[in-house]
Chain A
Amino acid sequence: MSVAVDSTIDARGSACPGPTMELIKAMKSSAVGTVVEVLSSDKMTTVDGAAWLKKVGQELVETSDKGGYWSIIAKKIK
């Protein structure tokens, strides 16, 4: 991984509230500059999470296929 992640939330197997909600929670409660990673067993988290980050103007650092699960990394820029 090229970026240093400040905190990783392992939301694999989380049906409810689910990984996208975990990403929103983490971004809301983090300080500007924080890099957050969410792990999910649902590929759609990378799509939904990316769409939300775009809507709120936060930075999508990367999404990746980890083989059996997915990772989305975001940075709080404002």
Chain B
Amino acid sequence: MPKRIVIIGGGAGGTITANLLARNLYRQLVSGHVVINMITDKAEHVYQPGFLYVVFDKVRPDEIVRKQKDLLDQHINLFVDPAVKIDKENKIVRTQSGKEFPYDYLVIATGSRIVPEDIPGLKEGGHWFYDMEGAKKLRQALKDFSGGRIAITVGVPHKCPVAPLEMTFMLYDYFKQKEMLDKVELFYTYPINRLHSLEPVANWAVPEFEKKGIKSETFFNMEEIDAEKKVVRSMEGSELNYDLLIAVPPHKGAPVVAESGLGKDGWIATDKKTLHNEGSDNVYVVGDTTNLPISKAGSTAHFESHIVAERLSSEITEGYSETLYDGKVICFVETSFDEATYIWFNYKTPPTPAPPSKMVHWMKLGYNRLYWLSAKGIL
């Protein structure tokens, strides 16, 4: 009887984990001692950080999409058939088409999704760039924008915590290039009492905002949008008028997680070091869907994938594993159209961002193309 590994979710975390496992367990896969089944809900894989560039017409939508099948090692079986039930008791995943996938080891990598519907009025009155459709609509809205206040608001929780700041700085450069800065007011808001979660990034942003004339309000959590009057009301009791609203909607995990009783709002209780689903030694969790208090980011999913692939490979071939996650996250931060910085931190080491430079920006642009090698488990 082969060892059966089931991976749910063919995004960043699931794909990297699957490909690393296929490499580590090549012999076992070829000999039939291990089987890897990936269950995902879309035939296409989207590089989500690319949405930011789609908005400013710096990347075309097609350039950030690949066929999932082309990204996976040929020894991995791919099923495009959404998981509808994870039955841990019987160690089976059920899919929409009615198939059952029994497993010895399960990796859940179903990511996070935006839920604009959780903020009344947001769908009617706001724009976002956290999915392809939203990014394309926002691109058009910016093209048509003749002037006024652009409000940037941020829901809790959300993935890629640096994206709202990147969006703000890129908007500044966009209108500078169009020679429209005299007609546009950028108004940035943030849920906690500084400009970003990471204190050094927040401190760095303050003088940048002053220099660029970007206004801001902190402790601002969207409660509802009056789409007709073009007003955002915050939980803290303030009101912000806008001509164009760019929101990062709040996020939830995949419905299958909550519906299988694995975690409220789709966030799965995860051991911060082993990445096991708490209480289940044969179930691992990777990426945005963990309940870990760390950034929901592709880099987090990437580093976690390496840990889970190492652990699973050792467990299968050696009977135990010693590899542990240290909370490592690396994020590039675009600070304009031509400069960027990056931050690195883990559970023990706080981040210290380097001064923005052209070099880091080029690295980020390079990574945008190299991502596909990452997904394949090569980089």
Please state if A55 and B219 are interface contacts (CB–CB under 8 Å): yes
Q: Which residues of A contact B198 (CB under 8 A)?
A: 15-16, 18
Please state if B193 and A48 are interface contacts (CB–CB under 8 Å): yes
Q: A24-B221, A55-B219 are in contact. Are A17 and B193 (CB under 8 A)?
A: no
Please state if B350 and A15 are interface contacts (CB–CB under 8 Å): yes
Q: A15-B350, A17-B293, A21-B192 are in contact. Are A28 and B327 (CB under 8 A)?
A: no
Interface residues of A in 47-63 (CB under 8 A from B): 48, 51-52, 55-56
Please state if A29 and B264 are interface contacts (CB–CB under 8 Å): yes
Please state if A16 and B161 are interface contacts (CB–CB under 8 Å): yes
Q: Which residues of A contact B180 (CB under 8 A)?
A: none
- B contact residues, range: 20 to 34
Whether, in the assembled complex, A71 has its beta carbon less than 8 Å from a beta carbon of chain B, the answer is no
* 1/0 contact string of A24-67 vs chain B (CB within 8 Å): 11001100000000000000000010011001100000000000
Q: A21-B156, A21-B157, A24-B221 are in contact. Are A51 and B193 (CB under 8 A)?
A: yes
In the assembled complex, how far is the CB of residue B313 from the closest CB belonging to chain A, in whole angstroms?
27
Please state if B235 and A22 are interface contacts (CB–CB under 8 Å): no
Q: Say whether chain A's binding surface is mostly helix, strand, loop, or mixed.
A: helix
Please state if B329 and A16 are interface contacts (CB–CB under 8 Å): yes
Neighbour of B294 across the interface among A14, A20, A28, A55, CB < 8 A: A14
- A contact residues, range: 20 to 34
In the assembled complex, how far is the CB of residue A52 from the closest CB belonging to chain B, in whole angstroms?
6
Please state if B193 and A13 are interface contacts (CB–CB under 8 Å): no
In the assembled complex, how far is the CB of residue A59 from the closest CB belonging to chain B, in whole angstroms?
15
In the assembled complex, how far is the CB of residue A71 from the closest CB belonging to chain B, in whole angstroms?
14
Q: Which residues of A contact B133 (CB under 8 A)?
A: none
Interface residues of B in 197-252 (CB under 8 A from A): 197-198, 219, 221, 235-237, 250
Q: Give A20 to B199 CA distance when docked, in angstroms.
A: 12
Please state if B221 and A15 are interface contacts (CB–CB under 8 Å): no
On A, residues with C-beta under 8 Å from B are 9-11, 13-22, 24-25, 28-29, 48, 51-52, 55-56
A-B contact sample (17 more), CB < 8 A, given A13-B327, A17-B295, A52-B219: A13-B347, A14-B294, A15-B198, A16-B351, A17-B157, A17-B293, A18-B192, A18-B198, A19-B293, A20-B193, A21-B197, A24-B221, A48-B193, A52-B193, A55-B237, A56-B236, A56-B237
Name 9 interchain pairs, CB-CB below 8 A, sorted by A. Answer: A15-B351, A16-B345, A19-B293, A20-B193, A24-B191, A51-B193, A52-B192, A52-B193, A55-B219
